Amino acid sequence: MLGAAEGVAPGHGDRVTRVGRLLVSEGVRRFEADGVDLRVIDPGGMLGAA
């Protein structure tokens, strides 16, 4: 499944938009793009980068 993530980079104010694979597994939504692993870390949809 393709997905897109938009947000503001913490401490930078840069707008980030990436498209990649949106994985849904065991209730944890994960977004992978360009070697960056983003996870939805709260019900409000906040993304955390690893």
Question: How many H-runs (helices) and E-runs (strands) does the chain carry?
Answer: 0, 5
Indicate the pairing of strand 2-8 with strand 15-25: antiparallel
Phi, psi dihedrals of residue 13, rounded to the nearest 5°: 75, 5
pTM: 0.21
Q: What is the mean pLDDT of each run of 10 residues along the chain (50 residues)?
A: 47 49 51 60 55
What pLDDT score does 26 carry?
Answer: 47
Q: What is the pLDDT of residue 12?
A: 47
Hey, where are the domains in the chain? Answer: 2-49
